[in-house]
Structure 1
Amino acid sequence: MDFVDWKARWQVLAAFTRTGLAREEKVLLVLDPSDLNDDDALSCLDGGLGQVQDALASGQLVLARNTSVYLPDGRFSAERQLRTHAALIEQAREEGYPRLRGGGDMNWAPRASVDDEKVVDYEISVAALFADAYFTGLCWYDREQCSDHLVATMRRIHPLQVMEHLGALEVTSTANGARIAGSAELGSREEFTEVLHEALGRRPGPGPCRYEFDLRDLAYMESHCAWLLIDFAAGLPREHKVVVRCGAMLEMTLRGLGSGAVPQLELQVEDDDAA
């Protein structure tokens, strides 16, 4: 994840942390020394629920600072860091947690003047830690502190990127439609509508057309946006087809709103836990 808006980043970290705690995983957050102090960090993570404070007291949640984790003697060693991560994973296993999820602020790198290429090589080497899916990792880069080259490279080498704002919509146009990820809600409703209109505008000719929308990474869709999608399909000639790839939850929403009565709309459902 790369960011500029620190409030949005803390919203993401809160969701990341609470999800892990709810799944009874161990959660490790490695913050920058310049970030919020532990008390304020707990307040942001907890949202007044009290669960995060309890997790910290029990040891399920651990807060640390990146200087002590990545630069214990003032210098960075990729080999030592990999050993540290491996030891933390093994410790979580021994403590009986089903998984370990860890998040780390990467601002230690520019602070210690670590060469970008060394950071890239390290990030590539960390991939081996995720081989058995026991460890879930999230790292974040401040675009005001890290070089454009480093941020751009991290976007390429990481298999998944987290959007900076939880309510954002990420759209990737395809030949016949779009891949839509994020959240289709009030704040992104206008953008979602534009995606549908843009797809309609790319109609190649008067004959039957096939529109494809990949919504498997859409975390949330409000009923209004779901209605827009159904209405978009219903307004097409009957020989046209709108294919929506989605998970079971979104399928339930669309069917509940009457998608089954629209012959132009085809739902291809994939298990939400697949992949």
Structure 2
Amino acid sequence: MTETTEHPDPPGRTVPVERLKMGDHACMALRGGEPPWKVFTAYTRTSLARSEKVLLVMDPDDLADGDVVSLLDDGGGRVAEAWNSGQLSLKRNTEMYVPDGRFREDRTIDLYTDEVNRAQSEGWAGLRLTADMSWAPRVGIDHDRLLDYEASVAPLFADPLFTAICWYDRERFGDRLLDDMGKVHPLRVMESLDELEVTRTADGGRIAGSAGLDTRTEFVRALREALSRRDASGPVRHVLDLRDLCFMEAHCAWQLLSLAGSLPTGSEVIVRCGELLGMVLRQLGADEVPQLVIGVEGDEVAV
């Protein structure tokens, strides 16, 4: 059975980079200090395809601009073309945050407001940003001031023309600050494209990320554990939120149908998902599994 529903997103949820949309303000916690180039490549290429402008704010010690473009382009030509046309822009965090060696919150917010307005005036659908926040410890900005700044930029996202990922090196900033950053950013971004996050909820569970070859075992194990937590004497009701699953291979989809179909008569597994995943599950026989209810929402997932 299929029904069309709308449900609020959980606050502070972790999502794959592909799920970010205009108006989202997200943080990313990294270990090791190296930029997550595969994530930035997916983010950049998706944004360019949507006719959005991309601004990458890198640390001065990162790769030179030309090397960044070559890495993101990987011989395809689209990123290099965007760089030449101005759809892709590269700046250094020192010029955006501390151009004279001092950090002023109002000046930084004005700079980003100008960037959003410039992207709009140039005809782009919006502005997508990634910003390396390693400038802060270099100039002695304490944690409380940095948290206050991150909270203060909320008005920039009031109109859906701006999306930003602020990324922090956990070794440099520490676990306490990164945990606090998760509270002032509505979203956290996964640092890998082949990552899976499983979360228990009051009425079931949420699975986000990618259910592919690398995460197949984890995905199936999570399903088995979730659906085995039931009273063997009667039916079970379980809500499975897959709205932030950006990829699901056919094997994982079959496992979902099989496990739902093995539940006692009268059980109900409600799957909240995007239109594409709902369509594929129906094509695989979801309508023939009486225990399964597909709750279709607007976002899509690749299968």
Normalized against structure 1, the TM-score is what? 0.95
Residue type of the partner of 2:121? Answer: E
CA distance in 2, matches of 1:256, 1:201: 26
**Match for 2:63 among 36, 49, 70?**
36
The one of 194, 204, 223 equivalent to 2:231 is 204
Q: How far apart, CA to CA, are the structure 1 residues paired with 2:72 and 2:169?
A: 19
Query: Matched residue of 2:171: which SS?
Result: coil
Deviations 1:219-243 (A, max 9, x none): 1100010011001011112211111
* Structure 1 moving runs of 4+ over 6 Å: none
**Amino acid corresponding to residue 102 of structure 2 in structure 1:** R
Q: Tell me the residue number matched to 2:265.
A: 238
Flag structure 1 segments of 5+ consecutive residues without an equivalent: none
Q: How much is the aligned-residue C-alpha RMSD, in angstroms? A: 1.4
Distance 1:44 1:228 in 2: 37
- Helix, strand or coil for the counterpart of 1:27? strand
Q: Which piece of structure 1 moves more, 41-50 or 10-19?
A: 41-50
The whole-number CA distance in structure 2 between the counterparts of 1:109 and 1:204 is 52
Deviates more, 1:175-184 or 1:215-224: 175-184
CA contact (8 A) 2:32 2:171 kept: no
CA distance, structure 2, for counterparts of residue 43 and residue 232 of structure 1: 45
1:132 corresponds to 2:159 = yes
Select 1:161's aligned residue among 188, 210, 214: 188
Higher relative helix content: 1
- What's the % identity of the aligned pairs? 52
Report the Cα distance in structure 2 between the residues aligned to 1:8 and 1:246, rounded to whole angstroms.
31
- 1:52 corresponds to which residue? 79
Q: Choose which of 249, 256, 269 in structure 2 pairs with 1:229.
A: 256
Counterpart of 1:152 (choices 153, 175, 179) is: 179
Q: Which amino acid in the other structure matches residue 77 of structure 2?
A: G
- Structure 2 spans left out of the alignment, 5+ residues: 1-27
Give, in whole Å, the separation in 2 of the partners of 1:6 and 1:203: 43
Aligned pairs for 1:60-209 (under 5 A) are 60-209=87-236
Question: Which structure's relative contact order is higher, taking Cα pairs within 8 Å and 6+ residues apart?
Answer: 2
Superposed displacement of residue 47, structure 1: 2.2
Q: Can you list the C-alpha shifts for 1:138-183, whole angstroms capped at 9, x where unaligned?
A: 1110112112222111111111111011110011112442101111
- Alignment partner of 1:18 out of 45, 51, 60: 45
Aligned partners of 2:237 and 2:268 also within 8 Å: yes
What is the aligned residue count?
273
Instruction: Give the whole-Å Cα distance in 2 for the aligned partners of 1:6 and 1:106.
Output: 11
